Amino acid sequence: MDKSEEEYLLELWERNICPCCGNEIPLGTRVGRGDKRRGGFCSLDCVARYYEFEFTERLRHIHEISVRR
């Protein structure tokens, strides 16, 4: 059985590994989305690349709402 994304991100958090690039995260430099289950990353660039599709969909939704008004 495959792990859920949340389990995968928590495992990498514990191992101090960036889920985007696979690099070890230097002590005190972890960045993320403010919730441990959403992962910890080595840089904001990795956060953006990992969640790119989700961010794009949110922007598309915001644009659709603004066009309707």
6-55: per-residue pLDDT in tens?
999 999 999 999 999 999 999 999 999 888 889 999 999 999 999 998 88
Does residue 69 have a pLDDT over 80?
no
User: DSSP letters of 17-50?
Assistant: B-TTT-PBPPTT--EESS-GGG-EESSHHHHHHH
pLDDT of residue 40: 95
The pLDDT assigned to 35 comes to 87
- The SS3 assignment for 2 reads coil
Q: Which domain holds residue 25?
A: 5-68
* DSSP 8-class letter at 16: T
pTM of the model: 0.76
Q: How many independent structural domains does the chain possess?
A: 1
What are residue 31's DSSP bridge partners? Answer: 41
